[in-house]
Amino acid sequence: MSPVPGATPARSAAALAEAVRTGATSAVDVVDEALAAIAGDNQEVHAFVTVLAEDARQRAAEVDRQVAAGRDPGPLAGVPVAVKDNLCTRGVPTTCGSRILEGWCPPYDATVVDRLARAGAVVVGKANMDEFAMGSSTETSAFGPTRNPWDTTRVPGGSSGGSAAAVAAGFVPLALGSDTGGSIRQPAALCGVVGLKPTYGSVSRYGLIAFASSLDQVGPFAASVADAALLFDVIGGHDPLDSTSLDRLTPRLASVLGDGIDGLTVGVLTEHLDGVAPDVARRVHEAAEACAAAGATVEEVSIPEVRFGLSAYYLIAPAEASSNLARYDGVRFGLRVGADDVVAMNTATRTAGFGAEVKRRIMLGTYALSAGYVDAYYNQALRVRTLIADAFAAAYRRVDLLLGPTSPTTAFALGSKLEDPLAMYLSDVCTIPSNLAGHPAISVPFGTGADGLPVGVQLMAPALGENTLLRAAAVLEAAAPAGAPAGAPAAGSPGSTPGGDGVEPTAGLP
């Protein structure tokens, strides 16, 4: 194959949009460049399951017509965007990485997709993902795995691995993903890009095909903090179509990125450093030093309750999934396998349509909700969730932000954890607590590990604390070690040693 592009796009999303709005370049040229990059390397990386070449060119031509008529197409004029394949796009296959929805075309757009269009963006394709967002490596997709552009023998993370890889490979400057237990931040860390999980309810979930409704949140991937802020400003805000949408003003982020963190207090979350690879921990300590150099007070913070986050999550999320996925029965939409009666048809359809990981979580969730067990498992997990949220609230009375690793290791080898579900689940041990609490968090690239693969550091903030979160993210981005990732090098490099120092995390085990 030809080399995966060695850097992020030459211009940021903001610069591309400005060039299109002023007529310095055309949206059609910008989109054609993105489509050419995808055509050259998507077969190897497999970031996209559907490429919308003709639709994208038509949309770009419409943006150019608006510019020629003297109208402003919007803050993302002509910018190519990848959309995770669990966000409904009218008339376009939306599969959730599953055979059970193969070929299904929604009759409407998700709110965030509609807001992209209103901002002048051009959706160039649907990004690959773990089936129904259940996974941490984008290997459970029914349509084949996505590969990490930094080293195509490694995973890109998951479940939004296609979105992260699309940005890291330079196919697009922006992408949308969803984050239920780390599915934006963890792949962002492994692919060396920025990934933001906003406050629960600050971005509409209307048109997001549900995994776990009390945890799912849509958010941006970008090559820079500024571009992530720009995309959040486009998609954020109240939506009356989403009953969980916050009916209040959403923070606007692009204007605060230069405000710095002088006078803030940053807490290094000690529990999240337990069991992580030494090279990852080293980068977190360097990030803490960068915060101190920028004028913040840095101190250690202990939240013992986060150790139970993984256990609570893997009861709550599968329980909600077992309910949400009951709709895929072979009757209303998607795959239908014929049989002699309705029960047999339901069974045959779900057997053929769902992959092993989805079946595992449906069975786990159904068991946790069953009579005689719901109090011992599901309701107990909800109580633990409340304890974690309360513990975070107490910590935020002492500090403005929390800092830790995003992932316990750098990108691991394809296939290395598929036969060990617990090892795979531990990939999200650092990201899950923010989902349980409903708080915002961001992964920022901060150098590389011992193997030359990207390391991401995670900043966490209280609910609706995105302004403070992005100020600190901009500081860390500017202070990142020389050679820190902002996209992928040529395919096949860097080296092939195991992720991090080969250390498996232990924090969070029951």
Tell me the catalytic residues.
84, 159, 183
Spatial distance between the Cα atoms of 36 and 242, rounded to a whole number of angstroms: 36
| 12's tokens | 């940021």
Q: Say whether the peptide bond before residue 243 is cis (omega within 30 degrees of 0).
A: no
CA-wise closest residue to 176 among 203, 153, 138, 213: 203
CA-wise closest residue to 66 among 77, 55, 76: 77
CA-wise closest residue to 294 among 320, 265, 268, 272: 265
* Residue found under tokens 């309750």: 305
**246-279 burial, b if ≥16 CB within 10 A, otherwise e?**
beeebbebbebbeebbeebbbbbbebbbebbbeb
| 489's tokens | 């090098």
Chain center to CA of 322 = 22
* Residue found under tokens 């290997």: 139
Q: Residue 422: exposed, middle, or buried by beta-carbon count in 10 A (0-12, 13-18, 19+)?
A: exposed
DSSP per-residue codes, 7-41: SS-SS-HHHHHHHHHHTSS-HHHHHHHHHHHHHHH
Q: Residue 333: exposed, middle, or buried by beta-carbon count in 10 A (0-12, 13-18, 19+)?
A: middle
Spatial distance between the Cα atoms of 431 and 276, rounded to a whole number of angstroms: 13
Q: Residue type at 28?
A: V
Spatial distance between the Cα atoms of 159 and 331, rounded to a whole number of angstroms: 27
Strands across the sheet with 122-127, in order?
48-51, 122-127, 80-84, 174-178, 218-222, 194-197, 441-448, 454-460, 401-405, 265-269, 297-301
Element (H, E) at 504: none
| 383's tokens | 């109580």
Q: What are phi and psi of 96, to 5 degrees?
A: 55, 25
Chain center to CA of 316 = 19
- Helices then strands, counting H and E runs in the chain, come out as 15, 11
